[in-house]
């Protein structure tokens, strides 16, 4: 007769075998990275960095947007903005973000280690440079890498623009026009932060998710997070969400049709070409995020 302890162990193994594991299957064609996912009017839009096949540096030049209404079929709306559309930078078209306000769509993008903003009447563009100059200039507030913008609008309507890299992160309030700064840049204390900040809010709790990096010899391949009760912090470090054993990771957390998702990218350790993947995200009763595990047979889990 099987013991209760043995029975519970078998049940645990069986249920554990049914739990979903990460396949890291690309959802977008070709090579894209740094997916910023946003829900607008019943559709989900992903604004990624556009990697170039065979590239040997990070000198991307334009941005696409993809949309879906079922998380299965994705539509590529083509180039919505590029370095050709601005006069103040000529390189480093990296991780963007987008938000809607008052029927307008505001596209925040890094270029030349600075942050700009473009505007459109549609989430699929085309977008037009709203200022003709950077919204955030390189080196402001002592932040050398003014990259990876994340735009967050709180329940009261106040908008916050987060940005930064190289272990330094800044945030500045924006006025309701979404293109004018409202006060000084504040430098935040963000535990284990390296780059790629993403802010979301759930049940009154603010979450900051971002890649970490143990040293300059180790790639930023672990997505971690911190929690706070205020958009400025203080931020309490909670640990890893996902270690995808890749050469690089960066992503976003978004709710769509009642389900939370983590969008991220992965890459072979010896290549710069990256691809976008998505996984369902779950929370514990105390609001912490349940960490994810990759499948053991995934070649990048070794």
Distance of CA 160 to the CA centre of its chain: 15
SS3 annotation, the chain: CCCHHHHHHHHHHHHHHHCCCECCCCCCCCCEEEEEEEEECCEEEEEEEECCCCCCCCCCCEEEEEEECCCCCCEEEEEEEEHHHCCCCCCCCCCCEEEEECCEEEEEEEECCEEEEEEECCCCCCCEECCCCCCECCCHHHCCCCCCCEEEECCCCCEEEEEEECCEEEEEEECCCCCCECCCCEECCCCCCCECCEEEEECCEEEEEEEECCCCCCCCCEEEEEEECCCCCCCEEEEEEEECCCCCCCEEEEEECCEEEEEEEEECCCCCCEEEEEEEECECCCCCECCCCECCCCHHHC
From 34, 85, 97, 148, the catalytic residue = 34
Pairing relation of β-strands 75-82 and 104-111?
unpaired
d(CA 251, CA 249): 7
From 85, 97, 192, 195, the catalytic residue = 195
Active-site residue 279, yes or no?
A: no
* Torsions phi, psi for 209 (to 5 deg): -115, 145
CA distances to 90, 101, 153 from 159, rounded to whole Å, are: 28, 10, 4
List the structure tokens of 133. Answer: 């100059």
Active-site residue 182, yes or no?
A: no
The secondary structure of residue 291, as a DSSP letter, is P
Q: Which residues does the annotation mark as catalytic? A: 34, 195
């Amino acid at each position: 007769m099987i013991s209760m302890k043995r029975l519970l162990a078998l049940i645990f193994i069986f249920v554990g075998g049914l739990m979903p594991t990460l396949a890291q299957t690309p959802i977008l064609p070709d090579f894209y990275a740094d997916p910023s996912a946003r829900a607008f009017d019943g559709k989900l839009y992903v604004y990624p960095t556009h990697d170039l096949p065979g590239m040997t540096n990070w000198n991307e030049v334009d941005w696409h947007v993809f949309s879906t209404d079922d998380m299965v079929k994705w539509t590529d709306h083509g180039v919505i903005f590029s370095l050709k559309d601005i006069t103040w930078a000529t390189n480093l078209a990296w991780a963007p973000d987008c938000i809607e306000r008052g029927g307008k769509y505001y596209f925040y993008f890094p270029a030349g280690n600075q942050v700009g903003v473009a505007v459109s009447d549609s989430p699929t563009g085309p977008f037009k440079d709203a200022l003709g100059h950077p919204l955030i200039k390189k080196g402001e507030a002592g932040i050398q890498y003014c990259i990876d913008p994340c735009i967050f609008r709180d329940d009261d309507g106040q908008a916050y623009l987060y940005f930064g890299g190289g272990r330094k992160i800044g945030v500045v309030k924006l006025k309701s026009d979404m293109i004018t700064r409202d006060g000084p840049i504040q430098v935040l204390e963000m535990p284990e932060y390296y780059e790629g900040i993403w802010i979301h809010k759930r049940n009154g709790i603010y979450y900051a998710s971002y890649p970490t990096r143990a040293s300059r010899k180790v790639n930023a391949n672990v997505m971690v997070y911190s929690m706070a009760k205020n958009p400025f912090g203080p931020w309490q470090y909670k640990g890893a969400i996902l270690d995808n054993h890749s050469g690089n990771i960066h992503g976003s957390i978004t709710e769509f049709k009642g389900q939370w998702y983590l969008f991220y990218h992965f890459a072979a350790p010896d290549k710069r070409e990256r691809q976008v993947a998505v996984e369902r995200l779950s929370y514990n009763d105390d609001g912490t995020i349940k960490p994810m595990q990759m499948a053991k047979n995934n070649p990048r889990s070794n």
